[in-house]
Structure 1
Amino acid sequence: MELIKININEKMEQVVSARDLHERLEIGTPFKKWIDRMCEYGFVENIDFVTVGQKCPIANGGFQEQAEYILTMEMAKQLCMLARNEKGMEFRKYFIGVETAWNDPSQVMARALDIAHKTIANFKVEVSQLENKIEEDKPKVLFAETIETAKASMLVGELAKLIKQGGYDIGSNRLFSWLRENGYLIRRKGSDYNMPTQKSMELKLFEIKEGTRTSGD
């Protein structure tokens, strides 16, 4: 039978709410006055207890901030002794029993296995995310590898063929369109249409070669 809720913190330690304990021990003194007096017995914050803020509803429908004290099991047991009543003794025995079960070798092993399973599950998620990222970046990598292996200049149409051979489906017209849309070739219609922009020339991405082409017409 659970007498009081026992939580597990990020350090895998059992902890108890001071407010819950105050209520279960049926302490007549108001909580704030009681916890301040208890802390005077030499308990150290961030070792024996931690203080956290929490929002609590109030009568007008709003919320107010109040301090919550999270106690270690050792501090909780000592507060039970300081209560000097039957409830205090009852809860101290309960905490001792919970601690004994928690430290049982079979329970320690079960927690270790649970942590291992969660670690493996998180690792699988990370691997899956990396694999998805690799798949997303594949076109960029193929493009970069294609450019890296090209030692001399080439026609845009030839570059499109190399990229397609590398596994990314693109044709000459689509590559020309992409270069125009991203500011590498001039977009406006006219004699300089599809010519390199000033930015492209400054980056030395293109060179212009003039020549004569003979066609059937």
Structure 2
Amino acid sequence: MSTAIKNIIFDYGNVIFAIDFKRVQQALKDIGINDVDAFYGHLQQDPIFDLLERGQITAAEFRARIRERAGNPDLTDEQIDKAWNSILIGIAEGNHDLLLRVKEHYRTFLLSNINEIHYNYIMDYLKREFDFEGNDHLFEKVYYSHFTGLRKPEHALFKRVLEENGLEASETLFIDDSPQHIASAQQLGIQTFLMTAPDTLQKYFERNGLLG
């Protein structure tokens, strides 16, 4: 890394919280969505997902579009939410402890493309499994796309995090699992690391000596 790191921006899905695109693709196929690879995947997705992640459509409007796309007006909210939430796996043991340790050494931020349905599920999961009231205590500040009206890889979202918190791009590390998000951050001079399986956040910090 060319400049000493003072700040770290973390993605959530497949960096902190495990997700499975194949599982959600199968679940969407099971409720009648054809051509799921083009409809929703790691590198591309239908515009309705972008709208949902920016908070530009409601969960009810999203479900209505899923019914239309599936050609099945009888799909229930519960069936749609179950299929959509099937992407969410959970938090690996040790990740929360690691984040608290990292916070002692760096200014840390969460930057997640997320949506109302997944957000509600994850907030319930964190309360149920860890007795956490969200992720706020793990970071200096959290940014969820559906509350900001912006989503990665938009430059405006990265600039907002930098500017609101007085961060120098060259002193900031961004960790994400999506190449297109990494590329966008690099264009702004942010240092980056692309997380790819079977690598993990804990292994990354250990081998790079970022905690001293």
Specify if TM > 0.5.
Answer: no
TM category, shorter: under 0.3
Higher relative contact order (CA 8 A, sep 6+): 2
Larger Rg: 1
TM-score (norm 1): 0.24
TM-score (norm 2): 0.25
